[in-house]
Amino acid sequence: MKPTPAPVEEGAPPRAPLSGLERSTLRELLIRGPKSRAEIARELGMSRASLTRVTRALIEQGLLADGPVELRGATGRPSEVLRIRPESRKFLGVKLTGDHLFAVVTDLTAQALAEYDEPLASRRVKDAVAQIGAVHERLAEEHPGVAAAGIGLAGDVVSTDKGQTVAQSPFLEWSGVPLAALVSERLGIPATAENDMRALTAAEHWFGVGAGHESMVLVAVGAGIGVGIVVDGKVVTGINGKAGSLEHLPIDPSGPRCERGHRGCAASYLSNAAIVAALRAPGLDYASVLDLARGGDPAAVQAFRDAGHALGVLIATLANTMDPEKIVVTGDGIAVAELARGEIDAAIATYRRHLGVPTPLDIQPFDFAEWARAGAVLAIRDFLHF
């Protein structure tokens, strides 16, 4: 007789911490989709008895449900599949910039149920935490029972035995801030914080364009330049949490200087501020330079072409170093791919070492709601202790 799912309170946390096998089973179904019990046991190396215990516990907690009977192979009998119950848990995701807060509520499969954004009222830590709390309360009116929260922000976030700390966030002007603990205390639910680039990389690897790949690289261009790396199915962080810091990769030793004084590095060409600075005209911002380039202004067009060349060198360097299954380019400066795709491709062809091997490039114009959704994925991964 099949176990009957126990009634689940909206967004209620599990009655007991998930075991390692329970977490592995959930992760397999979250990423790979519905599977039969036999497929799960084979993928995870579980015995029939262990699988029975695990699936019963997950069904009783409302996290899984029996799906329809399907033919799961070219031969053999049809099998009943297990599926995730997306509605069983809700998560809050937040993306902080230097002047704005973006938030989403998602289900267990990271599908957005609600989106919200507003200007950041203040960069003071206590004010930002209070604002996150107010946004949570606002969203909870229609989506009560959020189980956990995740916050992504630009900067260095490190984990120690005392918890997660924002070691440095230049845009927010923070240092040494125990953000996860402060948000958890304010919201009354578990919270986690992470560098926004690594959060987005994890989200796209599990639920987005990188789903199913064991290796990928995500490059974000815009106000800054970020690189996220997945190797053997895991997001690479580095010993100091700074893996992927390639914004100052040398491009041209005779080029312009970046804000740190480096001559001709990627940041000196590719960041939005560098593209604006290339025109040497007061009163311009990135949006106006973009309009000029689309209108054919020679100086603006050249600025984007130089940026495209720098991006191509960066992509080729990553392809040579990581040899990933996929390279994804995104960010609020993604217009460089629209205006300088020829320069990007030419630089890749020049600097790519593996001649004849195509570079698996995927241009994805994500918006800030996607970055907030990445915060929710942080919470989902933390829920699974991944």
Helices 341-351, 298-322: axis angle to 10 degrees equals 40
Residue 12 pLDDT level (bands cut at 50, 70, 90): very low
Residue of 198, 166, 168 whose CA lies nearest to 182: 166
pLDDT score recorded for residue 78:
66
Identify whether the C-beta of residue 54 lies closer than 8 Å to the C-beta of residue 19: yes
What SS3 state is found at 85?
A: coil
User: pLDDT class for 2, splitting at 50, 70, 90?
Assistant: very low
pLDDT at position 355: 67
Q: Whole-number mean pLDDT of the chain?
A: 90
| CB atoms closer than 10 angstroms to residue 138 | 13
pLDDT, residue 68, reads: 72
Of how many residues is the chain composed? 386
Query: pLDDT per residue over 164-199, tens digit each?
Result: 899 999 899 999 999 999 999 999 999 999 999 999
- pLDDT band, residue 139 (cuts 50/70/90): very high
Could you give the C-alpha distances from 39 to 29, 81, 83, in angstroms and in order? Answer: 11, 9, 12
CATH architecture of 20-87: Orthogonal Bundle (1.10)
pLDDT at 237: 86
Close Cβ partners of 96 (under 8 Å, ≥ 6 residues apart):
120, 128, 151, 152, 153, 172
The per-residue pLDDT for 7 is 42
Q: Is the pLDDT of residue 27 over 60?
A: yes
| CB of 216 closer than 8 Å to CB of 204 | yes
Res 98: pLDDT: 92
% of residues, the chain, pLDDT over 70: 93
Identical topology for domains 20-87 and 89-202+369-383 = no
* Residue 359's pLDDT band (cuts 50, 70, 90): confident
Distances (CA, A) of 362 to 196, 271, 366: 20, 20, 12
So where are the chain's domains?
20-87, 89-202+369-383, 212-363
CA distance 22 to 186: 29
DSSP state of 271: S
Pairing of strands 191-195, 146-153: parallel
- Please, are residues 200 and 305 in contact by the beta-carbon 8 Å criterion? no
Instruction: Identify the DSSP state of 26.
Output: H
Q: How confident is the model at residue 358 (pLDDT cuts 50, 70, 90)?
A: confident
In this structure, are strands 191-195 and 234-235 parallel, antiparallel, or unpaired? unpaired
Q: Minimal CA–CA distance to 354: which of 318, 326, 320, 310?
A: 320
Largest CA distance in the chain: 75
Q: Which tens digits make up the pLDDT trace of 34-80?
A: 888 888 888 888 888 888 899 999 999 999 998 776 655 544 556 78
Closest CA to 337 of 328, 349, 326, 325: 328
pLDDT in tens, 75-131: 455 678 899 999 999 999 999 999 999 999 999 999 999 999 999 999 999 999 999
Both tokens assigned to 50 = 């262990």
Tokens 């070219």 sit at which residue? 74
Yes or no: say if 135 and 94 are a contact pair by the CB < 8 Å rule.
yes
pLDDT tens digits, 295-332: 999 999 999 999 999 999 999 999 999 999 999 999 99
Q: Which structure tokens are listed for 47?
A: 């015995």
Distance CA 379, CA 207 (A): 14
The 10 Å Cβ neighbour count of residue 283 is 5
Q: What is the CATH number of domain 89-202+369-383?
A: 3.30.420.40
For residue 87, count other CB atoms closer than 10 A to its CB. 15
Q: Is the pLDDT of residue 14 over 70?
A: no
| Position 2, amino acid | K
Q: Strands 112-119, 146-153: parallel, antiparallel or unpaired by DSSP?
A: unpaired
Angle (deg, nearest 10), helices 20-32 and 37-44: 110
AA letter at 23: R
Residue range 141-156: average pLDDT?
95
CATH of 212-363, one of 3.30.70.100, 3.40.50.720, 3.30.420.40, 3.40.190.10: 3.30.420.40
Distance (Å, rounded) from C-alpha 84 to C-alpha 20? 17
| 8-state DSSP, 5 | P
Q: Given strand 225-231, what is the order of strands in its sheet?
A: 234-235, 225-231, 216-221, 327-330, 361-363
Positive/negative CA dihedral, 119, 122, 123, 126: negative
Contact between 120 and 98 (Cβ < 8 Å): yes
